[in-house]
Structure 1
Amino acid sequence: MKRIAFFDSGLGGITVLKEAMTQLPHEQFLYYADTKHVPYGSKPKEDVKRFILDAAADIMRHDIKALVVACNTATSIAIAELRVRYAIPIVGMEPAVKPAVEMNRPLGRRVLVLATALTLRESKYHELVNRVDDLSIVDSLPLPELVPYCEALQFDEAVLADYFRRQFEPYDLNEYGTLVLGCTHYPFYRQLLAKLVPPHISIIDGSRGTVRRLRELLSAHSLLNDTGSGDAGVQWMCSGRDGEYIRKMQQALELYASGRLFEE
Structure 2
Amino acid sequence: MKIGFFDSGLGGITVLSEALRRLPNESFVYMADTLHAPYGTKTPQEVCGYVKTLVQTILKEEVKALVIACNTATSIAVAELRREYSIPIIGMEPAVKPAVEMNRANGKRVLVLATSLTLKQSGYAALVSRVDDHGSVDSLPLPELVQYCEQLNFDRTELFEYFNRKLSSFDLDIYGTVVLGCTHYPFYKEILKELLPSHIQLIDGSQGTVRRLKQVLSERNLLASPVKAGQSQEGHVTFLCSSQDEAYVHKMERALEIYTEHEKIYL
Query: TM-score normalised to the size of structure 2?
Result: 0.96
Task: Check if 1:151 corresponds to 2:150.
Answer: yes
Deviation at 1:233?
1.1
- Corresponding residue for 2:252? 249
**CA spacing shift, 1:232–1:212, aligned 2, 3 Å:** closer
Structure 1 letter corresponding to 2:52: L
Task: Check if 1:120 corresponds to 2:123.
Answer: no
How far apart, CA to CA, are the structure 1 residues paired with 2:235 and 2:248? Answer: 20
Equivalent residues in 2 for 1:39-188, closer than 5 Å? 39-188=38-187
**SS in structure 2 of the partner of residue 259 of structure 1:** helix
Asked whether the 8 Å contact 1:112–1:176 carries over to 2, the reply is yes
CA RMSD of aligned residues (A): 1.3
Deviation at 1:230?
4.3
- Corresponding residue for 1:239? 242
Deviation at 1:260?
7.6
How far apart, CA to CA, are the structure 2 residues paired with 1:255 and 1:171? Answer: 30
How far apart, CA to CA, are the structure 1 residues paired with 2:263 and 2:81? Answer: 36
Residues 132-171 of structure 1: per-residue CA shift (max 9 Å, x gap): 0000000000001000110011110000110000000010
**CA spacing shift, 1:203–1:232, aligned 2, 3 Å:** closer
Task: Check if 1:218 corresponds to 2:217.
Answer: yes
Residue from 254, 257, 261 that aligns with 1:258: 261
Which stretch shows the higher mean deviation, 100-109 or 252-261? 252-261
**SS in structure 2 of the partner of residue 61 of structure 1:** helix
Structure 2 letter corresponding to 1:80: A
Deviation at 1:105?
1.9
Residues 2-52 of structure 1: per-residue CA shift (max 9 Å, x gap): 000000000000000000000000000000000001100011111111111
Residues 86-145 of structure 1: per-residue CA shift (max 9 Å, x gap): 100000011110011011122010000000000000011110000000000000000010
Deviation at 1:256?
0.5
How far apart, CA to CA, are the structure 2 residues paired with 1:191 and 1:72? Answer: 21
Aligned residues: 261
**CA spacing shift, 1:206–1:232, aligned 2, 3 Å:** closer
**CA spacing shift, 1:230–1:126, aligned 2, 3 Å:** farther
Query: TM-score normalised to the size of structure 1?
Result: 0.97
In structure 1, runs of 5+ residues without a counterpart are none
Asked whether the 8 Å contact 2:24–2:235 carries over to 1, the reply is no
In structure 2, runs of 5+ residues without a counterpart are none
**CA spacing shift, 1:119–1:169, aligned 2, 3 Å:** same
Deviation at 1:231?
3.7
How far apart, CA to CA, are the structure 2 residues paired with 1:41 and 1:93? Answer: 15
Structure 1 letter corresponding to 2:223: L
Asked whether the 8 Å contact 2:113–2:181 carries over to 1, the reply is yes
Asked whether the 8 Å contact 1:114–1:182 carries over to 2, the reply is yes
- Moved runs in structure 1, 4+ residues, more than 3 A? 229-232
Structure 1 letter corresponding to 2:169: P
Equivalent residues in 2 for 1:23-42, closer than 5 Å? 23-42=22-41
**CA spacing shift, 1:232–1:23, aligned 2, 3 Å:** closer
Structure 1 letter corresponding to 2:44: K
**SS in structure 2 of the partner of residue 178 of structure 1:** strand
How far apart, CA to CA, are the structure 2 residues paired with 1:260 and 1:105? Answer: 27
